[in-house]
């Protein structure tokens, strides 16, 4: 139960911060979501630092990883987890699954948005 609370707490903070950044920066350019773009970059950078320190040894506990990586970065942006999973596939040299996962995630996710919009408008 403690683990779920840590993820909940970190996720709530990350989600609120993502909202504030996106709300303030997305209107800057009409066709480029600057806030979302920066949140994704920052989230990926942070999850790299957090998980890098966690892999180093005893610098971060499992509770810290749950709060910061799973919770905060996951709430701040799910793109950070996606990027880390791709990093693992590259590190393992699994380029077939890397290609399938990356392209499939992007293409199918965009298609799912279109499908969801179509369903909500037509049913």
Take residue 25 and report the two structure tokens written for it.
């920066």
How far apart are the C-alpha atoms of 4 and 36, rounded to whole Å?
26
Give residues with Cβ within 8 angstroms of 59, minimum separation 6. 53
* Rounded-to-integer distance, Cα 31 and Cα 21, Å: 17
pLDDT in tens, 24-39: 998 888 777 889 889 9
Judge whether residue 13 has pLDDT over 80: yes
List, for residues 58-75, the tens digit of each pLDDT value. Answer: 789 999 999 999 999 999
Band (pLDDT 50/70/90 cuts) for residue 76 is very high
Q: What is the pLDDT of residues 82-110, one digit of tens each?
A: 998 999 999 999 999 999 999 999 999 99
Q: What pLDDT is attached to residue 120?
A: 85
CB proximity list for 6: less than 8 A, separation 6 or greater: 63, 66, 67, 70, 71
Distance CA 20, CA 44 (A): 18
User: What's the pTM value of the predicted model, to 2 decimals?
Assistant: 0.79
pLDDT confidence tier of residue 122, bands split at 50, 70 and 90: confident
List the binding residues.
74, 77
Residues annotated in a binding site for Na(+): 74, 77
How far is residue 120's CA from residue 10's CA, in Å, rounded to a whole number? Answer: 32
């Amino acid at each position: 139960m403690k683990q779920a609370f840590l993820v909940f707490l970190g996720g709530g903070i990350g989600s609120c911060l993502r909202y504030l950044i996106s709300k303030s920066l997305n209107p800057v350019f009409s066709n480029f979501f600057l806030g979302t773009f920066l949140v994704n970059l920052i989230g990926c950078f942070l999850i790299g630092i957090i998980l890098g320190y966690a892999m180093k040894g005893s610098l971060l506990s499992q509770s810290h990883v749950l709060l910061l990586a799973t919770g905060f970065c996951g709430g701040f942006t799910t793109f950070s987890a996606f990027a880390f999973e791709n990093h693992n596939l590259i590190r393992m040299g699994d380029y077939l699954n890397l290609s399938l996962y990356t392209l499939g995630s992007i293409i199918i996710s965009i298609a799912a948005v279109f499908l969801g919009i179509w369903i909500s408008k037509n049913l």
